Chains A and B, each alone.
Chain A
Amino acid sequence: EAGVAQSPRYKIIEKRQSVAFWCNPISGHATLYWYQQILGQGPKLLIQFQNNGVVDDSQLPKDRFSAERLKGVDSTLKIQPAKLEDSAVYLCASSLGGGAHHTGELFFGEGSRLTVL
């Protein structure tokens, strides 16, 4: 079974530039998550999709971050313009279900490491 695919693995940009990350979840997984993991911290949820609808984006900095999952399969996370503090690993994860019936098992990709200079 193919895992969660993410690209690019590494990206270096200058502040005020833009960047986009792509994620393809495990086939059949309805729920997709984007997490931000800053060095030395645990992952923090940015946005959660159920199929192509947003379930939770309360911690997404909407002035600069956007995400979409138009067809309910793969997803793109964009940052524009980037700030120094956006340097982090962006993790995509997927699960079969979500909400109260969610088992708590998320399947994570290897992450996209962003460095903002």
Chain B
Amino acid sequence: AQSVTQLDSHVSVSEGTPVLLRCNYSSSYSPSLFWYVQHPNKGLQLLLKYTSAATLVKGINGFEAEFKKSETSFHLTKPSAHMSDAAEYFCVVRSDSSYKLIFGSGTRLLVRP
């Protein structure tokens, strides 16, 4: 069965420094992977997705994620954090059998001024 593990429940960075949010997946086949973002009192929004094309995926607001099959990872990065990036981020894998989206437990990103 597919699953994702987000290794950090909270990440704190200073504004202007790089962001790294870690995600490892478990999947039998070539997975479809996503990152969603949830700002306070807002609905979840798709940030980016990987569906077996280029391994480096670019998303909105300057975020990127790299699919590494050898490490079963799909970490989310951004070169320079902005205050508006403070939110909760969810790594998501799509089930091969049911096509359901399976969410990780989330990483809360805090950006310090």
Residues of A whose CB lies within 8 Å of any CB of B are: 3-4, 40-45, 48, 56, 91, 93, 98-100, 102-111
Contact = CB atoms under 8 A, between A and B. Distances in A.
The 8 closest A-B pairs by CB, nearest first: A42-B103, A108-B43, A108-B44, A105-B46, A43-B103, A110-B43, A42-B105, A109-B43
A3 B51 contact: no
B94 A107 contact: no
Contact of B43 (A91, A100, A102): A91
A102 B32 CA distance: 11
For chain A, what secondary structure do more than half of its interface residues adopt (helix, strand, loop), or is it mixed? loop
A104 B103 contact: no
A110 B41 contact: yes
Interface string B28-68: 00001010000001111110010100000000000000000
Interface string B78-112: 00000000000010101000111101111000000
Given A43-B103, A100-B99, A108-B45, 19 more contacts: A41-B105, A42-B106, A43-B44, A45-B100, A48-B100, A91-B43, A91-B44, A93-B43, A102-B94, A104-B51, A104-B94, A104-B101, A105-B46, A105-B49, A106-B46, A106-B101, A108-B44, A110-B41, A111-B43
Question: Of residues B90, B92, B101, B106, which shows the largest number of chain A Cβ atoms within 10 Å of its Cβ?
Answer: B101
Interface residues of B, number: 22
Interface of B: 9, 32, 34, 41-46, 49, 51, 90, 92, 94, 98-101, 103-106
A44 B103 CA distance: 7
A3 to B, nearest CB: 7
A41 B98 CA distance: 21
Contacts of B105: 40-42
B42 A110 contact: yes
Contacts of A105: 46, 49
B46 A56 contact: no
A41 B42 CA distance: 16
B92 to A, nearest CB: 8
A4 to B, nearest CB: 7
